């Protein structure tokens, strides 16, 4: 049985040697089910809204890595809390540093693929988030195009 309450607070939050908050995220994915009931070869990824809604764009689940859990457990927990999915956390995709828009401080992030084995109807942040499965190819093309357009406008 999955926990239906999201963790909150910073008491157990991990920080790196430079004082950056450590966060963990997942890219939940599945292979699209075909009408014949078999898995097809179209890869889909699950994206979610910010707690503030779609005006902030779509994103992958991520959040704080806490002292009482492994990095993989944190990745799995964030996917459950924010997106309502369970699955198998796979090998780390990479680590990155980024600036928090809200706090103006740097964070250290770790990202993992999550092969989704179960999608829940109820999850801790259902009332504040929407989730949507998108074709990975379409999502990547749209994201790349947006990045190119924004780069051209700024340049």
Please, which pLDDT band fits residue 43 given cuts at 50, 70 and 90?
confident
Residue range 87-97, pLDDT digits in tens:
999 999 999 88
In a domain, 138, yes or no: yes
Helix (H) / strand (E) containing 115? strand 106-119
In a domain, 137, yes or no: yes
Any idea what the CATH number is for the domain that residue 125 is in?
3.90.79.10
* DSSP-derived pairing of the beta strands 131-135 and 62-64: unpaired
Tell me how far apart the alpha carbons of residues 85 and 29 are, in angstroms, rounded to a whole number: 10
Q: Provide the pLDDT for residue 92.
A: 96
Tell me how far apart the alpha carbons of residues 102 and 7 are, in angstroms, rounded to a whole number: 19
Q: What is the pTM of this model?
A: 0.79
Q: Provide the pLDDT for residue 152.
A: 44
* Paired tokens of 149: 């357009």
Residue range 73-125, pLDDT digits in tens:
999 999 999 999 999 999 999 998 888 877 788 899 999 999 999 999 999 99
Phi, psi dihedral angles at 81 (to 5 degrees): -60, -45
| Top-confidence residue, 148 or 91 | 91
Residue range of the domain that includes 54: 21-154
Instruction: Say yes or no to pLDDT of 33 above 50.
Output: yes
Tell me how far apart the alpha carbons of residues 153 and 148 are, in angstroms, rounded to a whole number: 9
């Amino acid at each position: 049985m999955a926990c239906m309450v999201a963790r909150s607070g910073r008491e157990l939050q991990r920080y790196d040697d430079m004082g950056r908050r450590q966060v963990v995220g997942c890219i939940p994915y599945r292979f699209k089910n075909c009408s014949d009931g078999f898995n097809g070869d179209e890869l889909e990824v699950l994206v979610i809204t910010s707690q503030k809604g779609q005006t902030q764009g779509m994103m992958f689940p991520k959040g704080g890595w806490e002292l009482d859990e492994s990095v993989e457990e944190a990745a799995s927990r964030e996917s459950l809390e924010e997106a309502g999915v369970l699955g198998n956390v796979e090998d780390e995709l990479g680590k990155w540093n980024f600036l928090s828009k809200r706090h103006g401080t740097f964070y250290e992030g770790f990202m993992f693929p999550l092969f989704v084995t179960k999608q829940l109807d109820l999850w801790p942040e259902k009332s504040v988030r929407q989730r949507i499965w998108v074709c990975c190819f379409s999502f990547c093309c749209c994201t790349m195009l947006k990045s190119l357009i924004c780069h051209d406008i700024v340049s």
